[in-house]
Amino acid sequence: MKAFIVRPFGTKGNINFNDVQKHLIAPALAALDVQGDTTEPFLQAGNIRADMFQQLLVADIVVADISVHNANVFYELGIRHALQPKRTFLLRAKSGKERNERTAEDEVPFDLRTDRYLEYDAERPADKLELLIEALRQTIANEKSDSPVFQMLPDLEGQDRSRFLPVPQSFRDDVDLASRSKKMGLLACLRWRLRITSGLRKGCV
């Protein structure tokens, strides 16, 4: 299972988001045997927007940190909500300000105020690890829509993720070669490789 993490980078608003990932998000995903990361690995690999769009579309679950008013986070969250109806999980750092001292920047944006999110202490994010593990487990198992877009537009249908899953170039080359040489047995073998682990390739001769 794959996750995509939507969050600010570095320290913003006195919150070290790299530490939050290290001590809270990453361990929670690992406990559920879910692999996932942010857009950071794509920075040196071409068009980051194309990779980001694809991950928001095909990820089994998206974890979004809405602790601060970050344009990229809200942009990516909106794309996810528009593409897939379920398995988008929100979390947010607890505000350290008294309610009468808070400004609009300290509050959840109006369009997200009805959405549920897990609140954590930015100074001790690991304190909520067990709670996040359980919340993510329930989110993965839940078949109900958590996207406000799909909730408001009930006839809208989510995209078929299988149509957009990345295919390695080497696999594309193998399919092209088998097709041009009309090796039906190899084509059948390649079809099975899509369904099962690549370790069975040895049996395809």
Asked if 146 and 84 touch (Cβ cutoff 8 Å), the reply is no
Which of 33-37, 48-52, 117-121, 124-128 has the highest mean predicted lDDT (pLDDT)?
Answer: 124-128
Report the top-level CATH class of 2-156: alpha beta
Two structure tokens written together for 21? 């990932």
CA-CA distance, 109 to 95, in Å (whole number)?
14
Q: Which amino acid is at 40?
A: E
Tell whether pTM > 0.85. no
3-state helix, strand, coil in the chain (%, to 5): 50, 15, 35
Per-residue pLDDT reduced to its tens digit, 148-164 = 999 999 899 888 877 77
Per-residue HEC secondary structure of 93-143 comes to: ECCCCCHHHCCHHHCCCHHHCCCCCEEECCCCHHHHHHHHHHHHHHHHHCC
pLDDT number for residue 64? 95
Q: Is the pLDDT of residue 189 over 90?
A: no
pLDDT number for residue 173? 60
Which of 30-34, 48-52, 91-95, 105-109 has the highest mean predicted lDDT (pLDDT)?
Answer: 30-34
Q: Where are the chain's structural domains?
A: 2-156, 167-203
Per-residue pLDDT reduced to its tens digit, 191-205 = 665 554 433 444 454
Question: Which residues in the chain belong to E strands, given as ranges?
Answer: 2-6, 11-12, 15-16, 35-37, 61-65, 88-93, 118-120
Counting residues of the chain whose pLDDT is more than 90, the rounded percentage is 50
Per-residue pLDDT reduced to its tens digit, 95-150 = 766 666 666 665 666 667 667 889 999 999 999 999 999 999 999 999 999 999 99
pLDDT number for residue 166? 62
CA-CA distance, 60 to 16, in Å (whole number)?
26
CA 72, 74, 77, 79 torsion: positive or negative? Answer: negative
Q: 23 in helix, strand or coil?
A: helix
